[in-house]
Structure 1
């Protein structure tokens, strides 16, 4: 579902009597976090003095709560590994140019190249739909270059899987003729391509719990239970240590995964019911408190 304006999107949830609200991505083809570098939705919520939690950083919305993956580390680690194998023509394929995660990823990518003494080539940077189709078309454009890449970095496994098909059509074998690295491996589908995708894995349940806590922390009087607001957390991939900004650390939180919503908005009544955003339709469903750890997860 697409909305004409942030106020139209927000009004859909404002009319309902819910204990929490979620604003799904405007387009289901977008990345799960889908916060934009310049995001009018966040600016609108901030202008209404309405507390919210964003899954993904942004330059919009003022000082607000957010939880995001360590996208910079994805790029740094991938470049380190590829450069270690001698690759210098490294392409990067990302979602649309205003996606905040693309901005963070590209900045880190360029810094990692510089650290290895590799010149940045803008022709090796492609933007596309966050899907198999997007990965296919981006790869097609890169293969058409006179001096193409020897390695491909994708921000999602779905984009990488689309690239596998284009490589097959071109008679190229991933892992032999070209190197392919995915960002986040989001599910079982990453194991089915041959060879299996290389990427980063993080588990979903703990992130769901932490996002629920961070959303509830926005409600006045809840800081005793859920920490001070606003919470700003960089959620890391397996093997790294958690970094939390502007909040007190609670428990030994492990590494987590993507969620299906961009913005979580708490209401004045905490914890009686929570929400779940369906990743395939963007519809909001009520679930009981027992499912608080699952309310940002994709439908099974």
Structure 2
């Protein structure tokens, strides 16, 4: 791979002159600029972020690596407003500190760590925000070992100390179950997020605790592994509604999943909020405009974005105390839930 040194040698100039050309071309004479430019084209040189920031050793960029699979690109689901709200919060604080955000998507979990390795190896970012935290998350161990500044959106089971901002998903589930039992529901089903995610474990703990506090047994047939999309919500809801004694209320993995569950209920000629109550998780903007409007466990994504980026900057600045922030969700009650009414 061609380096800045190769360009300097080929053009007959110093490395500092090439650096000036890359970072502040007006410092370089016209004839020298043309010479360096021709060698860059001839040697097919692509300057790394590290080369462009040779003097400061800073890129002024924060990395974000979402998983976006080919199926996601083809999906007809409503847009992920949750991610956009989170991104808005992240970007606001980044811009205040004269930073930008570099989003580099990975197609699957197998490629995810390689993407982080490349970003760090090429010196493209000064820090990273991690999402979709897993129980034994190799990204946390990798970045901790490399001493790369990062903050995680979520806790894990890893023993090392690291900075995070997380939503108390267990508390949100307990809140939802208390509300449903207060409406008279006893057959409460749960369409979970994917196994392996920490939010799945934490919310499951809240489901168990909420059901126990309400004196209700957990029916294993009422617990279905789903995902964060409409198709998973629709298929899972159909499985639940096909049971000999179907549930009267369903809590879902997120709002998009809830929209799918609502569609399954409606295709059977049943009324959401009357025959079956449904609760989402997130409170994206569409939740208030869906028909019927969706009761959901709200996460303040923009504020979470603020907190994540502020925490990351405190790590970058070298503060010794690692920020660890818990955010409380709240229940937003709308039309998709109602009192249990025996047939």
Same fold (TM over 0.5): yes
Structure with the largest fraction of strand:
1
Question: Which of 126, 133, 139 is the aligned partner of 1:19?
Answer: 126
1:179 aligns with 2:277: yes
Aligned equivalent of 2:316: 219
Question: Which of 134, 159, 162 is the aligned partner of 2:232?
Answer: 134
Question: Which of 221, 226, 232 is the aligned partner of 2:324?
Answer: 232
SS of the equivalent of 2:310 reads helix
Distance in 2 between the 1:184 and 1:7 partners?
27
Structure with the greater alpha carbon radius of gyration: 2
Question: Which of 187, 190, 197 is the aligned partner of 1:99?
Answer: 197
Distance in 2 between the 1:130 and 1:206 partners?
21
Aligned CA distance change for structure 1 residues 202 and 102 (closer, same or farther; 3 Å): closer
Question: Which of 297, 315, 320 is the aligned partner of 1:200?
Answer: 297
Once the two structures are TM-superposed, the CA of residue 17 in structure 1 deviates from its matched residue by 3.1
Question: Which of 98, 107, 114 is the aligned partner of 1:8?
Answer: 114
Once the two structures are TM-superposed, the CA of residue 41 in structure 1 deviates from its matched residue by 2.0
Could you tell me whether the CA contact under 8 Å between 2:192 and 2:226 is conserved in 1? yes
User: Which consecutive unaligned segments of at least 5 residues does structure 2 have?
Assistant: 1-106, 332-343
User: Which consecutive unaligned segments of at least 5 residues does structure 1 have?
Assistant: 24-32, 240-300
Could you tell me whether the CA contact under 8 Å between 1:155 and 1:184 is conserved in 2? no
Distance in 1 between the 2:127 and 2:140 partners?
17
Aligned pairs for 1:33-52 within 5 A: 33-52=131-150
Once the two structures are TM-superposed, the CA of residue 56 in structure 1 deviates from its matched residue by 1.1
Once the two structures are TM-superposed, the CA of residue 22 in structure 1 deviates from its matched residue by 4.2
Aligned CA distance change for structure 1 residues 199 and 6 (closer, same or farther; 3 Å): closer
Distance in 1 between the 2:240 and 2:191 partners?
10
Aligned equivalent of 2:161: 63
Q: Between Structure 1 and Structure 2, how many residues are aligned?
A: 224
Deviations 1:122-174 (A, max 9, x none): 21111112111111111111112222211000131100001111111111111
Once the two structures are TM-superposed, the CA of residue 80 in structure 1 deviates from its matched residue by 0.3
Once the two structures are TM-superposed, the CA of residue 238 in structure 1 deviates from its matched residue by 4.8
Once the two structures are TM-superposed, the CA of residue 9 in structure 1 deviates from its matched residue by 2.2
Distance in 1 between the 2:226 and 2:256 partners?
12
- TM-score of the superposed pair, with normalisation by structure 2: 0.61
Distance in 1 between the 2:273 and 2:299 partners?
23
RCO comparison, higher one (Cα < 8 Å, 6+) = 1
1:155 aligns with 2:241: no
Distance in 2 between the 1:148 and 1:39 partners?
36
Give the aligned CA root-mean-square deviation in angstroms. Answer: 2.0
Aligned equivalent of 2:263: 165
Once the two structures are TM-superposed, the CA of residue 13 in structure 1 deviates from its matched residue by 1.3
SS of the equivalent of 2:315 reads coil
Could you tell me whether the CA contact under 8 Å between 1:45 and 1:61 is conserved in 2? no
Could you tell me whether the CA contact under 8 Å between 1:202 and 1:237 is conserved in 2? yes
- TM-score of the superposed pair, with normalisation by structure 1: 0.69
Aligned CA distance change for structure 1 residues 170 and 203 (closer, same or farther; 3 Å): same
Structure with the largest fraction of helix:
2
